[in-house]
């Protein structure tokens, strides 16, 4: 199998494409925390995760089926890796987030999820992929975190003292860790597997793992009162935050590596704020500009070509 180029060895156009794909994924994902909080009392968490990924799998099937049929033998050979990837990225990641939506405000969910997962991804990349954290990467990560904290603090650091953790915040941390593991597993996937075959297999296996939990949940929760807006949200989660966003994110990981790609997750609360200003007519303030500038500067620094030799 040919060696996977290190992110620092990739041509500029490849890096640029990876950056754009990561940004597009975060734009799509920016509404996920809001949806999770909005439907927390109407759709049980495992049911929400199950219907989301079932929808995503069904929508992806027409696009991926020919590839899946062509690579059935290769899928069987890589089934263990696909199972772990599906467990981390599909079964556990958003299920933890949706469970956290019962007790954690959307602000907590976005803050903890977007700041902790990139840090975890970088640590795992150092341990398992032998990536080297350059001073640019570390400095960029710190700036991204400061930018998010400034947004949450509403321009006054004293406000952070009033930020209260809930029991659901631990679930968010668990979800962030699951996504960090997913990022590493995507980077280590077989290069022979087509992206569509890989993603469909991960979706299908992860959804299958959710099935027992969904069946059990049905015994202890009231029936869902379906409406057009709930169905629309499931479709948005399945088509957008599952199929489109994960295709973009996986393609970005292939170009940038999991650690650098993970840093772009810090854009999610920024885009969520922009969407609130655009859709809800909220005012654009100086703190939004400062926060966005810090995160953007952090991402630029983190993606500067390092002079440090890679091993």
pLDDT digits (tens, 9 = 90+) for 59-79: 999 999 999 999 999 999 999
Mean pLDDT over residues 174-202, rounded? Answer: 92
Query: Does residue 308 form part of some domain?
Result: no
Query: Does residue 202 form part of some domain?
Result: yes
Q: Give residue 310's pLDDT.
A: 40
- Tell me which of 68-77, 176-185, 252-261 is least confident: 252-261
Query: Does residue 310 form part of some domain?
Result: no
Q: Give residue 199's pLDDT.
A: 95
Query: Does residue 307 form part of some domain?
Result: no
Q: Which domain holds residue 274?
A: 20-302
Question: Within its chain, how far is the Cα of 88 from the centroid?
Answer: 11
Query: Does residue 1 form part of some domain?
Result: no
Query: Does residue 242 form part of some domain?
Result: yes
Answer whether residue 203 shows pLDDT above 90: yes
Q: Give residue 15's pLDDT.
A: 84
Mean model confidence pLDDT for the chain: 82
Q: Give residue 136's pLDDT.
A: 82
Query: Does residue 135 form part of some domain?
Result: yes
Q: Give residue 283's pLDDT.
A: 62
Query: Does residue 295 form part of some domain?
Result: yes
Number of domains in the chain: 1
């Amino acid at each position: 199998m040919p060696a996977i180029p290190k992110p620092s060895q990739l041509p500029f156009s490849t890096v640029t494409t990876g950056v754009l794909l990561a940004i597009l994924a975060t734009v799509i994902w920016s509404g996920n925390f809001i949806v999770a909080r909005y439907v927390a009392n109407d759709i049980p968490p495992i049911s929400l995760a199950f219907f989301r990924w079932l929808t995503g799998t069904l929508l992806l099937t027409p696009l991926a089926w020919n590839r899946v049929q062509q690579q059935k033998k290769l899928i069987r050979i890589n089934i263990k890796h696909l199972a772990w990837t599906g467990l981390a990225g599909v079964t556990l990641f958003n299920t933890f987030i949706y469970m956290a939506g019962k007790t954690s405000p959307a602000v907590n969910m976005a803050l903890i999820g977007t700041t902790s997962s990139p840090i975890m991804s970088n640590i795992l990349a150092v341990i398992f992929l032998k990536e080297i954290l350059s001073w640019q990467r570390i400095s960029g990560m710190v700036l991204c975190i400061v930018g998010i904290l400034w947004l949450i603090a509403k321009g006054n650091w004293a406000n952070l003292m009033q930020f209260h953790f809930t029991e659901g915040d631990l679930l968010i941390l668990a979800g962030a860790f699951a996504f960090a593991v997913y990022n590493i597993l995507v980077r280590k996937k077989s290069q022979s597997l087509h992206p569509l075959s890989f993603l469909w297999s991960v979706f299908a296996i992860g959804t299958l793992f959710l099935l027992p939990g969904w069946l059990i949940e049905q015994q202890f929760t009231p029936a869902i009162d379906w409406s057009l807006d709930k169905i629309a949200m499931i479709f948005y989660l399945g088509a957008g935050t599952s199929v489109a966003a994960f295709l973009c994110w996986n393609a970005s990981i292939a170009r940038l590596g999991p650690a650098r790609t993970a840093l772009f997750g810090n854009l999610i609360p920024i885009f969520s704020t922009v969407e609130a200003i655009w859709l809800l007519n909220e005012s654009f303030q100086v703190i939004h500009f400062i926060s966005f500038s810090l995160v953007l500067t952090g991402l630029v620094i983190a993606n500067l070509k390092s002079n440090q030799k890679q091993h």
